[in-house]
Amino acid sequence: MSRRLAPLRRGLDAMPSPVKDRPGVLLRDPFGYAEEVVIVPPPLVPFLRFFDGGHEEGDLAAALYRASGELGAGAYARGLAESLARSGFLEDDELDRRRAARHRAFAAAPRREASHAGAAYPEDPGELAATLDECLHNALPDEATPPDEVFAVAAPHVSFEGGRHSYASAYRALPGDASDRTVVVLGTSHYGASGRFGLTRKPYRTPLGETTVNVPFVDRLVTDGGEAVVVEDYCHAVEHAVEFQVLFLQHLLGPGARVVPILCGPFAEATLGPGRPEDDPHVARFLDALAGAAADEGRRLLWVLGVDLAHVGRRYGDEMAAEARQGHLRNVETQDRRRLAAVVAGDADGFWRQVQEGEDDLRWCGASALYAFLRATGSPRGTLLRYEQWNIDPESVVSFGALAFGETPSEGDGGVHA
């Protein structure tokens, strides 16, 4: 009897193979349940559609035979299925085993280890410090002036290469007493559940050292935040949005910088329909808890947001190729700046109404973190220091920028700066 094919996992990274003598589609697991990668050869790529949970191995073998005329199609089908299953790329018992083991290991670990060292940035502390210095000295002269009494900045979470100017603009705006404060880092949770906020009491360890965690602050959020809180969220183990901010904070404030890392999942239902994110009572409870804790801490807190903005082009499912600030991307910039104008005006409701337009067809991955910040801090006023678009590949663009919030916003609404 033919076996049913398990579904191919959702959320896998799929990209053209970078290996010259092994063309095809490279599959990679961003969750880290599978450490290896799989390269599916070009002739087999169309047959991945059979791994949808509704087909059997015999269906795949028959399709392969019709396409190739090979009598060994059954063996090819079985080999492809076994390769994907063995590697942890299917929704099956093997994946369940890997997932449970990884989650247990992270929950039991005393610290959150660097996830992207040696890949996204240098593992050697000296090389890393030089890389961060290079970023910080890349601020261009046309950036806007930060407001007075800065208590929050927003920076990108793209690669340091792509976002160096915006990283520089954001982190050069930190106040002089930043090292005396607890830094609440709100980062995009690219893999987290909708309407959930990931917390951890674990210090982040990077090549620069180990952070300090404000555990009482985290404990308060765990107690008061309700069901929207995911405690010791495994997403922290693999997410880069917070890790990249931690590197800059350690570089500027010292290895033991005191942080509260929070991963913000998307507000999917509030994006697709009318209403506000806090119409979900669990989201409302967490935002109230964060606002209450922020009010009690006052000036002892500094806020850092690790957020990108629009994602446009073929990598993100668009049929068209995208080029930064060319063609359609000029319209994207106009839309981005409208949203950012609402953000720096502290207009959370106006910002979210714009996100809902077209069901966020701009794919702002930082929308939930920005909204949570505005609600938690009581409609702060800020300044757009810099806006950028960057071709993450030849056919896809990410937009991002640098924001600073303070007691007195500088001249203008942030909508006219480069």
Question: Higher model confidence: residue 127 or residue 43?
Answer: 127
pLDDT at 13: 87
Residues 393 and 305 in one domain: yes
Domain of 261, CATH number, reads 3.40.830.10
pLDDT at 79: 86
Contact, 188 vs 366, CB < 8 A? Answer: yes
* Residue 195 pLDDT greater than 90, yes or no: yes
In sequence order, which residues have a C-beta less than 8 Å from that of residue 326 and are 6 or more positions away?
Answer: none
- pLDDT digit string, tens, across residues 392-411: 999 999 999 999 999 744 44
Contact, 390 vs 324, CB < 8 A? Answer: yes
- With cut-offs at 50, 70 and 90, classify the pLDDT of residue 83: confident
- Rounded Cα distance between 124 and 104, Å, is 29
Question: Which of these, 142, 145, 138, 141, lies nearest to 165 by C-alpha position?
Answer: 138
* Percentage above 90 pLDDT, the chain: 79
- With cut-offs at 50, 70 and 90, classify the pLDDT of residue 129: very high
Residues 140 and 183 in one domain: yes
Domain-embedded: residue 250: yes
- pLDDT digit string, tens, across residues 206-240: 999 999 999 999 999 999 999 999 999 999 999 99
- Rounded Cα distance between 33 and 31, Å, is 6
Question: Which of these, 176, 139, 189, 185, lies nearest to 401 by C-alpha position?
Answer: 139
* Percentage above 70 pLDDT, the chain: 97
Find the mean pLDDT for residues 146-153: 96
pTM tops 0.85: yes
Residues 189 and 325 in one domain: yes
Of the candidates 104, 132, 163, which is a domain's last residue? Answer: 104
* The two structure tokens encoding residue 383: 């300044």
Residues 80 and 141 in one domain: no
Domain-embedded: residue 22: yes
The count of domains in the chain is 2
Domain range for residue 208? 112-406
